Amino acid sequence: MMTQGYFITGTDTDAGKTCATIALMRYFKRQGKTVLGMKPVASGCTLHAGELKNADALLIQGNASIAVDYQLINPYAYELPVSPHIAGVHNPVELATVVERFNSLKALADVIIVEGAGGWYAPLNAQDDISDLAKALALPVILVVGLRLGCINHAKLSYQAIQLSGITCIGWIAVCVDPDLLNREENIQTIKAALPVPLLGILPYQEQLDFELLADQLTP
């Protein structure tokens, strides 16, 4: 059976990609499928037993159906919380390495969810950005829209950029990242009307993350 796979991109940094990624992992696990996640590139990592690891990547590792080595999930872990092309100047991202690790994971599970870094055009190295990574993995894209002031513009621009890259966007997920956003429902409806792909779920704002509750909100 062919492994299902999805690439998760966001309208910006901190749009809620990790919340959406883990909610999707929980969603597919409920369907009885073996699920793995991947965060190929992560900035802002800390040392764990002498090894740089990222908090979001550790969450993804912890929510997998199968125990796999951290290096498969997050091959490029950078200490500085800055753009990967800056943080990784001495160890730049190589797309071929990411594809190799992805293929290793793909062989182990029914579903694999890959979380990008930053937005669609966030640079990974001197020549490649997130869109190039998504192309290299040949996965359909789910766009995560962080609901905050300016999100309508960001959603429309991001969707247009995905289309221009020649990659299929199969839907979008709204994540309530700003609890004080005014007219949230109107923002959601405006984006829903603007994007010709389905809204796959609305993830509520949470002080303490409850991924089972988030998974309840998804309808892929």
The mean per-residue pLDDT over the stretch 77-90 comes to 96
Residue 191 to residue 184: CA distance in whole angstroms: 11
pLDDT tens digits along 100-124? 999 999 999 999 999 999 999 999 9
User: Is 33's pLDDT higher than 90?
Assistant: yes
* Identified catalytic residue from 39, 53, 106, 135: 39
| pLDDT number for residue 2 | 61
The mean per-residue pLDDT over the stretch 78-103 comes to 97
CATH of residue 118: 3.40.50.300
The mean per-residue pLDDT over the stretch 174-188 comes to 97
- How long is the chain? 220
Residue 54 to residue 68: CA distance in whole angstroms: 15
Domain range for residue 98? 4-216
Is 39 an active-site residue? yes
The mean per-residue pLDDT over the stretch 77-105 comes to 97
Report how many domains make up the chain: 1
Q: What percentage of the chain carries pLDDT values higher than 70?
A: 99
3-state secondary structure of 15: coil
User: Is 195's pLDDT higher than 90?
Assistant: yes
Q: Which of 119, 100, 129, 131 is nearest to 38 (CA)?
A: 100
The mean per-residue pLDDT over the stretch 82-107 comes to 97
pLDDT tens digits along 43-59? 999 999 999 999 999 99
User: Is 157's pLDDT higher than 90?
Assistant: yes
User: Is 184's pLDDT higher than 60?
Assistant: yes
